[in-house]
Structure 1
Amino acid sequence: MTDTTRFADYGVVVTGAARGIGAATARRFAQEGARVLVTDVDGAEAEQTAAALRDDGLMAQALACDVADRASVEAAVAHAARAFGSLDVLVNSAARCTPDTPLFEDGSDEAWADDLDITLTGPYRCCRAALPHLAATGRGAIVNIGSVNGVQDFGNHAYSAAKAGLGSLTRTLAGHAAARGVRVNLVAPGTVRTSAWEGRDAELDAVCPLYPLGRVGEPEDIAAAVTFLASRDAAWITGTTLTVDGGLTAVNTGFHGGTRGRGSA
């Protein structure tokens, strides 16, 4: 059961929040008392998500925000701080993942640059704009949405490089921001059932046995981890990566299944 007061009087910005992990995270914060700005490059979808929260009696606004554009990011942060009276939490969920070309050498500079710009430089822009506001509250927190792609090979060269970079940015910014009273952490999800997998249920079913816990993740699994790291329950945690992946990166289920427990590597 959620604590409906854990984030009372908090102002929260979530990027990429029109759907999937971002939308579930915005809902979880709002359910726990926060005033949430739902941002997304698709402003109409962001408004639909915020409207659904308001229909449930929760406090949410929406604003179109393109994390690839510095002015757009700064406008969103300023709007939240003004509308809510403070900005206490930033969640960087917006990302871009371009499918790999069959041959690495056929990849384009444009696709590489676009993935890095949205997935890595976008959070950099958001953190840069939000940090003074977060520092002013005395309880500020940044939670970045990374990926297991940032720590192991699951394909998607540019996206994986960007997520690995986001892990590094999380650590370096945590070191800088600690003296200003701001904590910075990262959640690294495994496969999560979002709209990106729409119509691909057979593929999701096929990967379930690779997960020690026997299933892929749901957006709510990630939202629960994000809100924990943003809360005072995590007051002595900064610069860390919390892997939320059903045991995928801890246990080699394929190896275990192949050896049937008869031997070691």
Structure 2
Amino acid sequence: MYLPQRDTASYRQFYYFLMAEVSKHSQRVYEHLKKTSFLENTIVVLTSDHGEMLGAHGGMMQKWYNAYQETLHVPCVISNPRLFPEPRKTEVVTSHVDLVPTLLGLAGIDADAARRELARDHSEAQLLVGRDLSGLVLGRESERHEPIYFMTDDNVESGLQMTNNLTGQAFAGVIQPKHIETVVTRLPELTGDTPWKYSCYSDNPRFFVGAAGNTDEVATARFIPREYECYDLTEDPLETRNRCSAVAAQPLSQDIRDALDKVLKEQWEKKRLLPQNLNRNAPTKGPLRD
């Protein structure tokens, strides 16, 4: 993200080469598994932690400080010859937090019973926030669309020597607001089956840094106003027309925006959980909590 690419085509070629290398070595592992007696008792998952901007949205690279499709959309393939003798696919939007509950379901493990067992000697045996989609992927349940929640507080500039190796000059940091919370959801009562992506960019108070080492020094904090993005993923799948923009050709109606705010708040409360032993005196207000 910090190294301008003069030749985007070459950068893409390099990235696709790396993808081919990963595929080649993943296939080698799978071929070895097929030669063992463990194949039918092994669930293989092929996925990724994030995507790659590859120059989209005005030349962005890497993955940070955005919630665009290029960053969030990753492959997810689940394989087992006994569970899936024939290929299946689903159009339901899923999240990485669904992986553990789904794998437990495929393995026939009761997630609640496992949590209670862990709670006997672990202080943070919490309820899983993801969905068990084993019934869906096995074809036993119909597709059901539920809101997907994404958040990131990544700040890759912190703790690093962010300088140009050639000039020694510091890179300009990414300015606030840069903490993101996003929902992808449908609003059937307002817009039918249309999927919406709604993102809130905020200056999260949990990451404020105060003055240190001088008790006479006073540190003040100034909130940076939140910024929003909203995309109709049916009409604008490339996410180029922000309906929350002050100059949007089709501004978002207030009733739709209120509904999206409500979904984002509900998802924040349900899924952005904190460890019980966390310092509760630290600022914990979420981006939607004034």
**TM-score of the pair, normalised by structure 2:** 0.28
For the pair shown, which has the larger CA radius of gyration, 1 or 2? 2
Q: Could you tell me the TM-score, scaled by structure 1's length?
A: 0.29
| Higher fraction of helix | 1
Q: Per chain length, whose mean CA-contact separation is higher, i.e. which structure has more relative contact order (CA < 8 Å, sep 6+)?
A: 1
